[in-house]
Structure 1
Amino acid sequence: MVAQASDGHILLVKKLGGLFAIIIGCMLTAVGMTFEYYGTTFVGVLFLALGAILLVLKIIRRNERPPLT
């Protein structure tokens, strides 16, 4: 389950980038919905989708390797 040393930075960037994008997306979506700024809401939803995609790509890449035996 331990990532290789060469892949460590890529996995960390995807994980932190995904979490950051989800947090920003939630905040932008909440502000947009509260004040009825549809452009802000749209950008927030895009950030939420980007964050989810980054986290899914991280999980897929981590699970590609065969299990250690």
Structure 2
Amino acid sequence: MVAQTSDGHVLLVKKLGGLFAIILGCLLTAVGVTFESSGTTFVGVLLLVLGAGLLVLKIVRRNQAPPLT
């Protein structure tokens, strides 16, 4: 079953943005923990949460049931 959406570009942006935020968040979190920088660690964790949230929104949107008529 293939999901058809009229706003495919928005879903692509959410997917790529989420992946980019997760990767950057992992890197910043690792650097922040290594150098004991609480600010960098906080920003890294914040980006991880943001990236996961974007991916969850994309998945939820894709898996919505079609309206019954």
TM-score by length of 2: 0.88
| 2:62 corresponds to 1:56 | no
State percent identity of aligned pairs.
75
- Deviation string 1:13-66 (CA, Å, 9 cap, x unpaired) is 000000000000000000000000010000000000000000000000000133
- May I ask how many residue pairs the two structures share in their alignment? 65
Consecutive unaligned residues of structure 2, counting only runs of 5 or more, are none
The list of structure 1 runs, each at least 4 consecutive aligned residues, that deviate by more than 3 angstroms after superposition, is none
Structure 1 unaligned regions, length at least 5: none
Partner of 1:32: 32
